[in-house]
């Protein structure tokens, strides 16, 4: 079966590379947009208690929603294709990043913030030079969770015409063509594992040596 899968892959190289590229592009854009929204939002929310409660609760609910349900809900509104998939995946990536950013910024020792204020830093400087660097490992842990979720979710995007490696899987299941199915499923698994490993490595690199566990 694996030999047949290899033959199928060799015969459909351009198609495969296009799907792989689309998968990565879709995931990376969704993650990038989500981080660009959620990190600044999380930083702002950390200083705004009332709104924060609402936003964090909403994010916690958002986190529990099934990925496929979210993708499916977008379809009747936005139709199929790259844009609806990107939108749905961005929605899925927001909650973990937002929750981690908010929590991490809130956990920065108030004495340190006080000291920064005493040194005459402006609010923006405190965020940039003090709060963000301290919170970075935890924020990045959220980005890592979101990244794996997005790569995984992007497989499901095949259902709403998002393309990517899921196309091989859905077509493989529909026609019960196992080699084709493997050509989608195995690279998707490797991509997800690779993403987790890569982001884990960056996360470690961002953590000050003294704070590393294991």
Partner 1 sequence: MKWLINHWEDVLIALGEHVTIALTALVIATAISLPIGIWAAKNDRVYRVALAVSGFLYTIPTLAFLALLIPVVGLGKTNAIICMVAFSLMILIRNVATGIREVPEEVTDAARGMGMHPAEVLIRVELPLALPVIVAGLRIAAVTVISVTVVGAYVNAGGLGTLIFSGMSNDFAPKIWTGAIAACALAVAADLSLARLESRLKARTA
Stretch that binds partner 1, among 33-41, 43-51, 119-127, 171-179 (CB under 8 A): 171-179
Reduced to 3 states (helix: H, G, I; strand: E, B; else coil), residue 52 is helix
Which residues lie below 8 Å from residue 79, measured CB to CB, with a gap of 6+?
A: none
Q: Exposure string (b/e) for 108-128, b if CB count within 10 Å is 16 or more? A: beeeebeebeeeebeeeebbe
Select from 65, 112, 119, 202 the one that contacts partner 1 (CB under 8 A). 65
72 near partner 1, rule: CB under 8 A: yes
Using CB under 8 A as the binding rule, whether residue 192 contacts partner 1 is answered as: yes
Query: According to DSSP H, which parts of the chain are helical?
Result: 2-11, 13-45, 49-64, 67-78, 82-106, 110-118, 123-125, 132-156, 166-174, 178-206
Q: Which is nearer to partner 1, 79 or 133 (CB)?
A: 79
Neighbours of 72 (CB within 10 A): 14
Among 32, 30, 69, CA closest to 159 = 69
Stretch that binds partner 1, among 94-102, 107-115, 133-141, 166-174 (CB under 8 A): 166-174
Examine residue 41 and tell whether it contacts partner 1 (CB under 8 A).
no
Closer residue to partner 1 in complex, CB, 131/168: 168
Query: Which listed range, 45-53, 106-114, 117-125, 183-191, lies at the site for partner 1 (CB under 8 A)?
Result: 183-191
**Residue 64 C-beta: closest distance to partner 1, Å:** 4
Residues of this chain that interact with partner 1 (CB under 8 A) are: 1, 60-61, 64-70, 72-73, 75-76, 148, 151-152, 155-156, 158-160, 165-166, 169-170, 172-173, 178, 181-182, 184-186, 188-189, 192-193, 196
């Amino acid at each position: 079966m694996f030999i047949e899968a290899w033959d199928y892959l060799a015969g459909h190289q351009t198609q495969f590379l296009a799907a792989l590229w689309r998968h990565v592009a879709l995931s990376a854009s969704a993650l990038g947009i989500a981080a660009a929204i959620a990190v600044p939002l999380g930083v702002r929310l950390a200083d705004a208690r009332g709104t924060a409660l609402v936003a964090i609760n909403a994010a916690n609910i958002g986190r529990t929603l099934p990925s496929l349900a979210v993708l499916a809900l977008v379809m009747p509104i936005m139709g199929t294709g790259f844009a609806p998939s990107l939108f749905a995946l961005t929605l899925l990536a927001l909650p973990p990043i937002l929750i981690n950013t908010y929590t991490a910024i809130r956990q920065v020792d108030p004495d340190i913030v006080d000291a920064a204020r005493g040194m005459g830093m402006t609010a923006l400087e405190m965020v940039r030079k003090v709060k963000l660097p301290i919170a970075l490992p935890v924020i990045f842990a959220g980005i890592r969770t979101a990244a794996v979720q997005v790569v995984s979710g992007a497989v499901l995007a095949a259902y709403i015409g998002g393309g990517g490696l899921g196309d091989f899987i859905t077509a493989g299941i529909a026609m019960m063509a196992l080699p084709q199915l493997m050509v989608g499923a195995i690279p998707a698994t490797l991509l997800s594992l690779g993403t987790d490993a890569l982001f884990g490595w960056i996360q470690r690199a961002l953590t000050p040596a003294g704070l590393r566990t294991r």
